[in-house]
Structure 1
Amino acid sequence: MKKRSKNIGSSPGGFQHVGLFLPNFDGGGAERAFVNLARGIAELGHRVDLVVGNATGPLRSEVSPLVRVVDLGASRLALALPGLVRYLRSERPELVYSALEEAGILALLARRLSGVGAKMIPSIRNTLSDEARVSSPKRKFLLLLARWLYPSADAVIAVSKGVAKDAAGVLHLPLASIHVIRNPTLTPDLREAAMQPVDHAWFTPKSVPVILGCGRLAPQKDFATLIEAFALVRAERPCRLMILGEGPLRQELTRLAGERGVAEDVAMPGFDSNPYRYMGRCDVFVLSSLFEGSPNVVVQALACGAPVVSTDCPSGPDEILEGVTRGKLVPVGNAERMAAAINHFLDGGADGPVIVDLAGFDYIEAARNYLGVLKQETARGK
């Protein structure tokens, strides 16, 4: 293990041992954010455990050597509860953060069963009302459990103002009790990763513009609208569309590209642990989601210098792109408006300086903010 780096500035909170609880190391935004958060808290001088239901997934290799991984070895997250109880009793962290609703529920249940006094702070990463609308009966049941258990948390964190307002209504929590902290999205490695070569014929060299999407091939991301918009753009000019990610809708999206006559110009190469090298070379980055919490990919694309077209979905894109010269918001599910925005940037609308403040998304800044939440709760009189 590498030697611990010097502490980066002062750290609020005064906690010596911090745990972060996560289902696994899948390549989603929540998983990546918590890997970055664990690194930030460790670099601020704290002992950090990244506790996972199962230590599988492509992001395992990105965990900082300063962070200890605790693998509960559960085949399903619900089966991780006994292991989490044992972890709390044996390791006794002073503070535990959790990401995603099921993990937050398990963490709060584990505290009750363990009898230890660890502070528990779940984080909410999506608009829960939209999740309830499009999710399975299991997800809806989890939201009922969250409504029961989250009031017992020592604090609750939301990744955007929109998520906080939505969560207050869904979980029956006072809005003032939900702390808005931006995702720890940006690390020193991102710029270096963006400079890595891309081994794909469309970029070596790039002969026509490439439009990029990135995310799980699932209904929430609405890549069908992106393909529809791309077909409209492709009818006017030579260009290509690449979507990085994996998921259950691969065959459906492939079929749609064929039906629209653009299959040869649409590539879906799967999940890539370094999407930044594509972001740094694409001509337009597009987020087509139906809903989000605070989309990391929008921040990452901006940091890599790409112009961004995003749906004005709940929640987060409007907060990120406010005042950004290289960002355009379009209505959810509107292929025509999305195509027009893409064409705007392909026609040179991305020229000029990028005016955007991404400081709140820095991993160290986010770590300090996470560690300072309980101090704010004390000041609030909770």
Structure 2
Amino acid sequence: MKARGDGQERPDLAFLLPSLMGGGAERVVMDLAREAARRGHTVDMIVLNREGAVLDEVGGGVRLVELKRKRAAVALPALVAYLRRYRPRVLLTTLEHTNVLAVVAGRLVRSVRVVVREANTVSEDTKGPKGRAVRELMRLTYRWAHAVIAVSRGVAASLEGELGLSPGSVTVIANPVVTPRVMDGAREPLDHPWFALGQPPVVLGVGRLSEQKGFDTLLRAFASVHAATPCRLVILGEGPERDALGELARTLGVEGDFALPGFVANPFSYMARCGVFVLSSRWEGLPNVLIQAMAVGAKVVATDCRSGPAEVTEGGALAPLVPVDDEVALADAITTTLRGAVQALPEDWADRYEVTAITTRYLEVLLGDARAPGGTQ
């Protein structure tokens, strides 16, 4: 591995994030950065501000660079200054605001190859007046990127259809979410009384407590299942819907068998021991937690939302898919799955999302001489 210093050494790769909060995008980028560094590449992790649940995981050859800006809208001068000083060979960015920032900075610093990663369908992730403004900026700037990567075929179709990118111009690479951290975490002991032997099965959800994740529908479906079958519901995560979910549980009369433990660093031990894992989302790009739950051997149920669950479950062949916001269908699928056996996965299924294989694919796009379609037009 190349030695790192704090001087003006030129990085092979730079990754840009708003912060290191514990969301799916941050985890994916951190895993890519660490694996690239493990292979001997010099890697910088650029953040607007130095905060977040995965801040302590920076290391292993990855250098942290803080721009000391609260928002992407005011970070352009700082990012341009970094690019001119350190001249990374390539800059990979994810999340809409930082994507726009990076592409504009790349237009000003022509020596840097800029690759944009998009993790959600455009229409669902850019609602409201502010969202529409961001979408217009995406439409104007994404065509300047040297390459655009989507996490699923559904996201690629959204980018091409809604941003006007050329058909076939977006490279699809799945998220590298099957990692040693996931598989080792699944084997760690879980000190929670609801998961002890002899306890009723636990229905598990994992994600940000937000409208997108559909946990209100999951809670209503759980109440129906709970009325006929002893079971409990645990949802791991934090977010703006916490109070509303607690109130809904009280209204439904299931508050005694419902828990919101908050953010948990190792959700995989919960996944490995739950009765059924449920993805109740209204939209996704590629649902990392669904992939991880399946990888550690959980029985799963998912909504057939845009986009990802159908791709992950091979059109429902590997797990039940139900319509979005259909609490009756979701309750029926949960009941049936609780009583059934774990669906066997194809032998190569986990390899599609394994960190070493996915990192190789990313490096081909990031550092390859042949520029992926969708570059500067």
TM-score class, shorter: over 0.9
How far apart are the structure 2 equivalents of 1:328 and 1:16? Answer: 45
**How far is the alpha carbon of 1:372 from its aligned partner?**
1.3
Q: Deviations over 1:349-372 (max 9, x none)?
A: 43x633360212111211111121
> What is the TM-score with the length of structure 1 in the denominator?
0.91
Name the residue aligned to 1:118.
112
Instruction: Give the conservation status (yes or no) of the 8 Å contact 1:164–1:175.
Output: no
> Identity across aligned pairs (percent)?
45
Name the residue aligned to 2:67.
72
Name the residue aligned to 1:203.
195
2:99 to 77, 100, 104: 104
Name the residue aligned to 1:332.
324
Name the residue aligned to 2:208.
216
Gaps of at least 5 residues in structure 2 are 4-9
Instruction: Give the conservation status (yes or no) of the 8 Å contact 1:108–1:120.
Output: yes
Q: Aligned to 2:115, what secondary structure does the other structure show? A: strand
Once structures 1 and 2 are overlaid, which stretch shifts more, 150-159 or 116-125? 116-125
Name the residue aligned to 1:32.
27
Instruction: Give the conservation status (yes or no) of the 8 Å contact 2:215–2:280.
Output: yes
**How far is the alpha carbon of 1:143 from its aligned partner?**
1.1
Name the residue aligned to 1:282.
274
Q: Deviations over 1:157-193 (max 9, x none)?
A: 0000000001111110013110000001111222111
2:142 to 147, 150, 153: 150
Instruction: Give the conservation status (yes or no) of the 8 Å contact 1:323–1:355.
Output: no
How far apart are the structure 2 equivalents of 1:260 and 1:41? Answer: 48
Distance 1:127 1:376, change over 3 A: farther
How far apart are the structure 2 equivalents of 1:16 and 1:95? Answer: 8
Gaps of at least 5 residues in structure 1 are 6-14
Name the residue aligned to 2:79.
84
How far apart are the structure 2 equivalents of 1:372 and 1:37? Answer: 13
Tell me, yes or no, if structure 1 residue 238 matches structure 2 residue 230: yes
1:208-357 to structure 2, matched below 5 A, reads 208-322=200-314, 326-350=318-342, 353-355=344-346, 357=349
Tell me, yes or no, if structure 1 residue 131 matches structure 2 residue 125: yes
Q: Deviations over 1:81-130 (max 9, x none)?
A: 222111101110010100111111010122233x3410001111001112
**How far is the alpha carbon of 1:381 from its aligned partner?**
10
How far apart are the structure 2 equivalents of 1:377 and 1:148? Answer: 24
Instruction: Give the conservation status (yes or no) of the 8 Å contact 1:194–1:276.
Output: yes
Name the residue aligned to 1:363.
355
Tell me, yes or no, if structure 1 residue 93 matches structure 2 residue 88: yes
Q: Deviations over 1:298-345 (max 9, x none)?
A: 111011110110100000110001177651111000011111111111
Distance 1:36 1:319, change over 3 A: same
> What is the TM-score with the length of structure 2 in the denominator?
0.92
Instruction: Give the conservation status (yes or no) of the 8 Å contact 2:218–2:280.
Output: yes
Distance 1:380 1:208, change over 3 A: closer
Once structures 1 and 2 are overlaid, which stretch shifts more, 165-174 or 37-46? 37-46
Distance 1:184 1:376, change over 3 A: farther
How far apart are the structure 2 equivalents of 1:330 and 1:84? Answer: 44
Q: Deviations over 1:266-324 (max 9, x none)?
A: 10010111111100111100000010000100111011110110100000110001177
Q: Aligned to 1:309, what secondary structure does the other structure show? A: strand
Distance 1:64 1:358, change over 3 A: farther
How far apart are the structure 2 equivalents of 1:94 and 1:359? Answer: 28
Amino acid at match of 2:346: I
Amino acid at match of 2:139: R
How far apart are the structure 1 equivalents of 2:43 and 2:16? Answer: 11
Amino acid at match of 1:39: R
How far apart are the structure 1 equivalents of 2:79 and 2:24? Answer: 23
Q: Aligned to 2:200, what secondary structure does the other structure show? A: coil
Instruction: Give the conservation status (yes or no) of the 8 Å contact 2:147–2:372.
Output: no
Distance 1:149 1:196, change over 3 A: same
Instruction: Give the conservation status (yes or no) of the 8 Å contact 1:92–1:116.
Output: no
**How far is the alpha carbon of 1:4 from its aligned partner?**
7.1
Instruction: Give the conservation status (yes or no) of the 8 Å contact 2:147–2:373.
Output: no
CA RMSD of aligned residues (A): 2.1
Instruction: Give the conservation status (yes or no) of the 8 Å contact 1:47–1:67.
Output: yes
